[in-house]
Structure 1
């Protein structure tokens, strides 16, 4: 250990007050228990600074004493970036930095602190007649700092972009405690390197984001939402092209979902009713925004054209908020529902949009050949090429034995297909500690050298989220 745990707790308590430090491992559960239950190292301490000045004080102390700091938002990350790799590291939780400093709906900008829960940010800006369009299944617990540090995507990337594209500026504490004040609301600022883009997506390895200025958009008057029956991912790709031609920038979401996801959710009573029109091997969840002054009916007109082109065989339109909520619940519960079926092997990958059908067909066939009885469950953001290519264990298999025998083999198969198609092995979940070795295998060597040079320049002692991303 860099310092004994009791000395770390004592020093942090002197810096920020004992009420802001947890040293008892038995009380650290909420900070240690990450969603996938893959990482089980306890921290030397958890510190919850009450303000930015306290974050700076903690980092100055950590820099002087060579103590590793693991920044954490809502602990919803899926690659282990937010939890320790070693027992001498300190989790720095930003949960108490939860103020929304300002909202200017007319200018289209909000300044929110890193601990702001995403759903609370949505409610605050909607009360001002605006919208922050980053929507995640975990928005009730995910916090702004973690969302930005992982460059989260979500279901609205198609229309509004991912977290980096929604960020205008950031405030961040550096490894030695200095404060980078990069908050601004400028659409044009050509005065050197874009440091904001460097910090967003860095998973806390280059600095700790404490606040951000974020883009807001006019609040839609309504949404037009439909769940349509399609025969295959190939048909989904053609349908996406038609919808993009018809709706343009109003096409808010285009999500691909397999029948098995519906079957699992209905069998485990995760839906109060079947949201689909009828049985189908695949479904597409399509949503258009309707702004003030825009007449309804665009989606229905587009679907009529899709029927004529035989791209869809059936469809149901959301006639109420309850209908829309049920359709989106079907999509958002796709990850959770697989846990009801035992173990699952998961991948967050992306390929060029036109290659999505090949990814699903070739990946499924190769894995099914290697693991008889395995159940492919690919779903996700067809509109931006990001597929969550998951596999549920064969019915009746022992979960632990299944994972022990096939986890690595299935990963290798899927990543080989992804790379052959010119894709990425991490689309929106990041690298964390789960994919450190994988990144070294697939990333361009020159790119890795550049990344390490930046890391060494900003964090020469390697105390910011040690071992994550670059190892």
Structure 2
């Protein structure tokens, strides 16, 4: 028995069970996603103010067999927040549940609601003298519930881990309408199955996260940023190993930047100041967060000297101020926007073992050349093996002219990542965009277990139908 569409009777039921102004007609922002590949349909949006109101809506949807699409900041890049087809669902937006409930600086814990904007969580931690290290280009609009639901990564994974590693406990509404009160501040809790880690990364397909206990860190006593020109991706990987041998786990960011991305940036956003007049083919952005008594400039100078002596760095600039550091990061953070303005044919979010990164880049170029002539911007979080491998048309042509080649190009990139022991979704999730990819590349035993878990927790299939797993 399948799902039912939202209708006037169900709308009346929802409005009668929830406070005034909780149920509305969807707005255009609820029906679009950043890449414009999926378009939703006008439906009802539920805007609860508490976990109890979320539970009420979920129970009613379950009884009526109406699907629920959770909506956080709307910044997801794989279509997980959009339902373009099938029975018309309810959209459940957490934007009103945005409170920072409490902070425990001595425990390095912050408890907030799922609708809290990531930047606001970072600011609250900073006001308490602590650091919440999850950092994304979309942090000004992305919300914590979505970050956890997709197990977001970002630029600081090398040192601090993904969103999963930054969460101690959850409050969530399960598909049967029960509220799981799991907001524990514990580092150790071995009482059975780990429901927290099951919900994190499930993209709303197993329940709706309503609040989280987040792990904070001490703020580095001093931080430093540098951009080093490297001769190749192989050299970048060796430079990372050298940096970690000299500085241990104090390296918090290590980003690989491709010259093609810098060319796009100069073309579309010339106001973004770049560190080198002659744009290098390969460079790395390095950030270190150090303990008291250690000079970031000295540490980075010593790193550059050792790297240059070993042929791993050809040139370098070390930030002399916080403003210059921000300018370096501004370059990295605007590369995705420049890509968007140029217009990619495909944008891939893959990961491979660190040692396979140079092979992936070299073989990827060869594979794509066999399909046709394109421009490639390969960049990303080389410190954790996550690359964004984006393919663009040649100058004077548009991405729309290559729509028929998109499946072949995407398949070639994903086949290569899989062949090298990698993943076709490193940090963006599966959503609706990569459901077929999960079926193609996923381990059969894992897929079987995932389907069993989905059937056990959500037997009616109301939670984000069409996302993650094929129905």
CA deviations on 1:279-335 (whole Å, 9 max, x unpaired) are 321110001002334343212211111111111110001111221111111111222
Deviates more, 1:87-96 or 1:67-76: 87-96
Cα deviation for residue 17 of structure 1 reads 3.3
Q: For 2:55 and 2:89, locate their aligned partners in 1 and report how far apart those are by CA, in whole Å.
A: 17
Checking the alignment, whether the CA contact within 8 Å between 1:5 and 1:44 is kept in structure 2 is no
The residue that corresponds to 2:377 in the other structure is 377
**By how many angstroms is 1:264 displaced?**
1.4
Task: Flag structure 2 segments of 5+ consecutive residues without an equivalent.
Answer: none
Deviation by residue 1:372-417 (Cα, 9 ceiling, x = unmatched): 1x10100001011000111111212233221x22110101111111
Shift of 1:190: 1.2
CA contact (8 A) 2:30 2:40 kept: no
Residue 270 of structure 1 and its aligned partner are, at CA, apart by 4.5
In the superposition, relative to structure 1, how do residues 279 and 41 fare at CA in structure 2: closer, same or farther (>3 Å)? closer
Do the aligned partners of 1:152 and 1:429 also contact (CA within 8 Å) in 2? yes
Alignment of 1:31-430 (within 5 A): 31-86=30-85, 88-276=88-276, 278-296=278-296, 297-372=298-373, 374-402=374-402, 404-430=403-429
Distance 1:109 1:274 in 2: 37
Paired with 2:401 and 2:205, the residues of 1 have a C-alpha distance of: 35
Q: Tell me if the contact between 2:6 and 2:66 (Cα under 8 Å) persists in the aligned partners.
A: no
Q: 1:295/1:325 Cα in 2 relative to 1: closer, same or farther (>3 Å)?
A: closer
Cα distance in structure 1, aligned partners of 2:336 and 2:370: 24
2:342 aligned counterpart, secondary structure: coil
Q: In the aligned structure 2, how far is the partner of 1:8 from the partner of 1:361?
A: 55
Q: For the structure 1 residues 270 and 457, does the alpha-carbon distance in structure 2 shift closer, same or farther, using more than 3 Å as the test?
A: farther
Aligned partners of 1:22 and 1:291: how far apart in 2? 51
Residue 20 (structure 1) aligned to one of 14, 19, 22 = 22
The alpha carbon displacement at 1:260 in A equals 1.2
How far does residue 30 in structure 1 lie from its aligned partner after superposition? 1.4
**Aligned residue for 1:451?**
450
Distance 2:23 2:33 in 1: 20
Q: Which moved more, 1:113-122 or 1:179-188?
A: 179-188
**What is the CA deviation profile of residues 198-219 of structure 1, one whole-angstrom value per residue up to 9, with x for unaligned ones?**
0100001111000011100011
Q: Distance in 2 between matches of 1:332 and 1:291?
A: 26
Matched residue pairs, number? 466
Task: Give the 3 Å change call, closer, same or farther, for CA 420–3 of structure 1 in structure 2.
Answer: closer
Q: 2:7, 2:431 → 1: CA distance?
A: 24
The CA distance in 2 between the partners of 1:42 and 1:157, in whole Å, is 36
TM-superposed deviation, 1:107: 0.5
- Distance in 1, matches of 2:182 and 2:398, equals 51
Which is worse superposed, 260-269 or 246-255?
Answer: 260-269
* 103-112 or 274-283, which deviates more: 274-283
The alpha-carbon deviation at position 3 of structure 1 amounts to 4.2
Q: Deviations over 1:19-65 (max 9, x none)?
A: 22222x5xx11111111111112142111111111101100100110
Give 5+ residue unaligned stretches, structure 1: none
| 3-state DSSP of counterpart to 1:106 | helix
Are 2:116 and 2:144, in contact at CA under 8 Å, matched by a contact in 1? yes
How far 1:446 sits from its partner (Å)? 1.2
CA RMSD of aligned residues (A): 1.4
Alpha-carbon shift at residue 13 of structure 1 (Å): 1.9
- Measure the CA separation in 2 of the matches of 1:142 and 1:101: 18
Whole-Å Cα distance in 1 between the matches of residues 338 and 185 of structure 2?
Answer: 40
| Preserved contact between residue 10 and residue 64 of structure 2 (Cα < 8 Å) | no
Report deviation, 1:262. 1.2
For residue 172 of structure 1, report the CA deviation from its aligned partner.
0.5
Q: Call closer, same or farther: CA 1:344–1:463 in 2, change over 3 Å.
A: same
CA offsets, 1:128-149, max 9 Å, x none? 0000110000000000000000
Alpha-carbon distance between aligned partners in 2 of 1:428 and 1:125, rounded to the nearest angstrom: 23
Question: Which digits, 9 at most, give the CA deviation of each residue in 1:213-257, with x for residues without a partner?
Answer: 110001122311001111111111111111111111100011001
Q: 1:461 is matched with which residue?
A: 460
Tell me, in whole angstroms, the C-alpha distance in 1 between the residues paired with 2:396 and 2:279. Answer: 25
Distance 1:123 1:81 in 2: 27
Q: TM-score, normalised by structure 2?
A: 0.96
Per-residue deviation at 1:369?
A: 2.3
Report the counterpart of residue 469 of structure 2 in structure 1. 470
Partner secondary structure for residue 187 of structure 1: coil
Q: Distance in 1 between matches of 2:353 and 2:229?
A: 23
